[in-house]
Amino acid sequence: MFPIKIKNKAEKIVKLCLKKKIKLAFAESCTGGMLSSLITSIPNSSKIFSCSYITYSNFSKVKILGISEKTIKKFGAVSHEVAIEMANNVAFKAKADIGIGITGIAGPGGATKNKKVGEVHIALDTKGATRTLQLKLKGSRNHIRLSSVDSALDLLIGYILKPDVKKDPDWEFVK
């Protein structure tokens, strides 16, 4: 189901999390659980994976994850700000070390004047520090979803291998 390159990254994440005793939790929108499915396809993932929420609608983002309605109204569901709240809230709810939030427009519909198909926001939250990515992807719905998962894996690997974020200017610190 997943390309070998992506599967290998997931295996690396599970091994690293096992070694460092890191617990993960995900909140997915446009990927529809694809990242969670990939991670849980790896043996021993139950030791490092807490849970996942698929919050596809704005209603579920608000009611299940506790995303602020004001944030959605001001920035839109597909935004840096919503991805951050998704990552932060899922980590908090799951008592996980790392939370990932993914929101975007996989297409072919869903685009607006300001947000095109292929715009994806990914956030990684780890106890007060957050890193985000904004992607502008092209291709089929499946390509956009797989590329989003691949980017989330890269973000996870980067953090796990270099967790001292205080020296990295790309991280935001939340109080």
Per-residue pLDDT, 168? 62
Tally of domains in the chain: 1
- pLDDT, tens digit, for every residue of 49-71? 999 999 999 999 999 999 999 99
Per-residue pLDDT, 127? 81
85: containing domain:
4-173
Is the pTM higher than 0.85? Answer: yes
Tokens of 22: 């890191």
Q: What is the mean pLDDT of residues 3-17?
A: 98
CA–CA dist 79, 169 (Å, integer):
20
**Cβ atoms within 10 A of the Cβ of 136, count?**
9
Nearest alpha carbon to residue 14 among 28, 24, 6? 24
Is 170 a residue whose pLDDT tops 70? no
- pLDDT, tens digit, for every residue of 66-122? 999 999 999 999 999 999 999 999 999 999 999 999 999 999 999 999 999 999 999
Specify the higher pLDDT residue, 165 or 121: 121
Q: What is the mean pLDDT of residues 4-29?
A: 98
Report the CATH number at residue 115: 3.90.950.20
Per-residue pLDDT, 129? 84
- 67, 99 Cβ separation under 8 angstroms: no
Per-residue pLDDT, 175? 42
